[in-house]
Amino acid sequence: MKVDLVMWTLNGEKTLTSVLARINEVVPEDVVNRKLIVDDGSKDNTVSISKKFGWEVLKNEGKGISDAANTALKNVETNYFCSFEQDVLLSSDWWKKVSSLILNKDDVAAACGLRFLPRSNFCSSIEPYQLTRKDTDFYGGYGKTLDNTIWNTEILRSVGGFPKVNFAGIDTYLFNLLDLKGYKWLVDYDVKSLHLHQGGLLNEFKHYYFYGLSLPEIYSRLKKTRAFYENENLRSLFLRFLKSPISSFKMALKMHDSRLMFCYPIIRLCWLLGYIRGVSWQNISQ
């Protein structure tokens, strides 16, 4: 069985060489059909690096990840395809374990592993802590991302492809959409790839602010079909922010990482501020 490999990029030269080299190591050459990169107008050496590793470079037909992902999907030729992001360094067992979850299984739409920040990153204990609470806090969506994933092409196309969202949250919305249609998105929690975020602590806070921007749109879409999203709003986010000093202390004890006592309350503040800005943006756009 052959699979296509796809990736969406924007100014990814700092991580792309190591990421593409690792894909070559992990995904057997004899299963690869096409390797497609959809670029969003990079100004650095992203395109030349991609071509050096034998990837076809396509121009994003729109703008942002939603459009780039659908541009890639339009060009997929195989029954299954793999999607990656430019800063995820695959675990050595990724292909062997993740492919076994989905290939030749008609009710499985997607399968992936996890990805964690390197220990040197100030926020590196957040995701491992979330893993311990995956069945409590995430409504079944923990670990479901687009960045190290194998897809059933026909199923994904049947639900309209990748959802169009303005900021982040494509994976959250798509997981719920697939689940409502009766399809599974499986995660191997023992497959742990490396997320090579660039830019230091300030950049991490910017990421969380960006995620916060997406929440009003995601909540407004999902609460129509998912009752547990009806209680997700400004009040709930504000209460979590108020509780974050206590939460961060508990997290730091559990994960043996005192850095959480500093960074987690700021992360909660970034989510809250992003949400408030997202509500304003949503009201303006309407």
Residues 155 and 248 in one domain: no
How many Cβ atoms are within 10 Å of 106's Cβ, its own excluded? 9
Mean pLDDT lowest among 77-81, 122-126, 182-186, 198-202:
198-202
Residues 264 and 123 in one domain: no
Give the DSSP per-residue string, 209-278.
Answer: HHHHHHHHHHHHHHTTT-GGGTT-SHHHHHHHHHHHHHHHHHHHHHHT-TTHHHHHHHHHHHHHHHHHHH
| Residue 283 clears pLDDT 70, i.e. is over it | no
Last residue of a domain, one of 150, 167, 198: 198
Last residue of a domain, one of 140, 166, 198: 198
DSSP 84: E
Domain limits at 106?
3-198
Strand-pair category, 88-89 with 148-152: unpaired
Q: 93: domain CATH number?
A: 3.90.550.10
Instruction: Name the token pair of 122.
Output: 């100030």
CA distance linking residue 22 with residue 36, whole number of Å: 16
Average pLDDT, the chain: 95
> Buried b vs exposed e over 239-263: b needs ≥16 C-beta within 10 Å?
eebeebeebbeebbeebebebbbeb
Report the percent of the chain where pLDDT is more than 90: 87
CB 23 within 8 A of CB 149: no
φ, ψ at 63 (rounded to 5°):
-150, 135
pLDDT tens for residues 66-108?
Answer: 999 999 999 999 999 999 999 999 999 999 999 999 999 999 9
| Residue 199 clears pLDDT 80, i.e. is over it | no
Instruction: Name the token pair of 88.
Output: 């995820």
Count up the domains in the chain and report the number.
Answer: 2
